[in-house]
Structures are given as C-alpha cells and as structure tokens.
Structure 1
C-alpha cells in the first residue's frame, strides 16, 4: 500500500476539482414519474383521498406498474396547477 502526502492547499484544490467534476456529471433534471408523497407536496394537499379523486377524474396522469405502486406524471400535475391559475388585476 502506498501513502500519498499532499500539502493542505493541494488537497483542497484537488477536493474542489472532484466536487466540480461530480456536480457537472449529476443530472439536475427532476424525475418525470413521482410517488404519491411528492405529488401531494406539489399539489399542496394532505389527503390521499383527494389525490385519488384527481386521478379517478382524469385530471392528472398516473401509471400503475404494479398493483400497489402508483406513480404520477410531474408534467401533468404542473399542467393541472397552471390550468387553475387566477391572473391578478
């Protein structure tokens, strides 16, 4: 095993480069499909019944890949919110 010694300035410069590289590789785009908890946060609702009502009435898109897993389309939630915007005078 080899031990590498660096001066403090060199260590922090290397560390900054690594952080910069990792941030450039990270995908900052939010996920298209989100779970119920995140959907309720976006809609500012606290009831799963209200979320189910929006889903059942076709107001927001969803996918059900498995029986107990329901995912919501972030874009359709944003469209639903934008559709109900009230313009100021």
Structure 2
C-alpha cells in the first residue's frame, strides 16, 4: 500500500477539482430547453399527440425557434409534474 501526503492547500485544490469534474459529468447544469423526445421522457409519455395537447392547452411552456423545431422548458415540465403530484395518505 502506498501513502501519499499532501499539504492542506494542495489537498483542498484537489478536492475542488474533483467536485468540479463530477458536476460536469453529472450534468448538474441541465439545459433549460429540451427536445420533444427529452420532454416526453421527463413526462413519461409515449405519444407526441399528448405532448402537443399539453402544449396547446398551455400546461407546459415551449419555444419554436424554427418552423419544425419545438423546444420545451424543463422548468415548466417540472412545475407541471409538481402541480399534478398527489400526496400520500
């Protein structure tokens, strides 16, 4: 077994670097706008028609930067799920 000794400053710098890399890999900075496939996965739905219904009824926010590209707001999807969550008994 090898023992590695580090000074305090070097140790804390190493820990900060590890935390930074873990955040990057975990994707803690999630994209605000997601594709229809990602939105359907977040909502656990399989039908694009259901997704369109939620969009048309104003239940989730969306953006349409181009004619055939529709992006969905991750925060509004999470808010929709929270609004429709039921408490346990």
TM-score, normalised on structure 1? 0.72
The SS at the match of 2:60 is coil
Following TM superposition, by how much is the alpha carbon of 1:25 offset from its aligned partner in structure 2, in angstroms?
8.2
Question: Which structure would you say has the larger Rg?
Answer: 1
Aligned to 1:50: 50
**Within 2, Cα distance between the matches of 1:46 and 1:52?**
12
Following TM superposition, by how much is the alpha carbon of 1:55 offset from its aligned partner in structure 2, in angstroms?
0.2
The alignment covers a number of residue pairs equal to 72
- Runs of 4 or more off by more than 4 Å in structure 1? 19-22
Aligned to 1:6: none
Aligned to 1:75: 75
TM-score, normalised on structure 2? 0.72
Aligned to 1:30: 30
* Residues 21, 43 of structure 1: alpha-carbon distance in 2 compared, 3 angstrom cutoff: closer
Q: Could you say what the CA RMSD is over the residues aligned between the two structures, in angstroms? A: 2.2
> Any gaps of 5 or more consecutive residues in structure 2?
1-13
* Residues 22, 52 of structure 1: alpha-carbon distance in 2 compared, 3 angstrom cutoff: same
The SS at the match of 1:81 is helix
**Within 2, Cα distance between the matches of 1:43 and 1:30?**
16
> Any gaps of 5 or more consecutive residues in structure 1?
1-16
Following TM superposition, by how much is the alpha carbon of 1:64 offset from its aligned partner in structure 2, in angstroms?
0.1
